[in-house]
Amino acid sequence: MDNTITTGGTFRMQDTEQTIEIFTIQIGMISRSYLVRQQGVILVDTGVPGSLETILSNMKPAGVSPSHFRLILLTHGHADHAGSARALRDLTGAPVAVHRDDAYMGPYRKTRPPRPCRKAGTALMGRRYPATHG
């Protein structure tokens, strides 16, 4: 297995069957998003409200377009992590996943409370992240 960290915040892990790439997107002074690409793309965190253009412009060098998104995963519901989730969900059509304890914060929601989707998340840091729709 070859694990490579390149300049520009890209991590590549490759074994004989598949490659996983992680691209870091710096959003302002304190926020980051991560594009995880394997078969499709998962966006981890969306930065503060208004970060849509920053994320889109940083996706281009990685060869990622909004149609590649399969999931938007929020580590938690604070605005510096979830603030642009609604705009990205509306643009990409990808479901948003967040832990149920943070779902009430909902900057990505429209009007109704989120509902869990079936088998949408995996355990990260001891928490299960069901996808939510707003």
Among 64, 65, 54, residue whose Cα is nearest residue 28: 54
Structural domain total, the chain: 1
**And the tokens for 55?**
């994320």
pLDDT in tens, 111-120: 444 455 444 4
pTM over 0.95: no
CATH number of domain containing 35: 3.60.15.10
Contacts for 70 with CB less than 8 Å, ≥ 6 apart: 40, 41, 42, 94
- Helix, strand, or coil here: 25? strand
- Helix, strand, or coil here: 130? coil
pLDDT in tens, 86-105: 999 999 999 999 888 877 76
- What sign results for the dihedral spanned by CA atoms 126, 127, 128, 129? negative
Range of the domain at 78: 2-133
pLDDT in tens, 41-78: 999 999 999 999 999 999 888 889 999 999 999 998 88
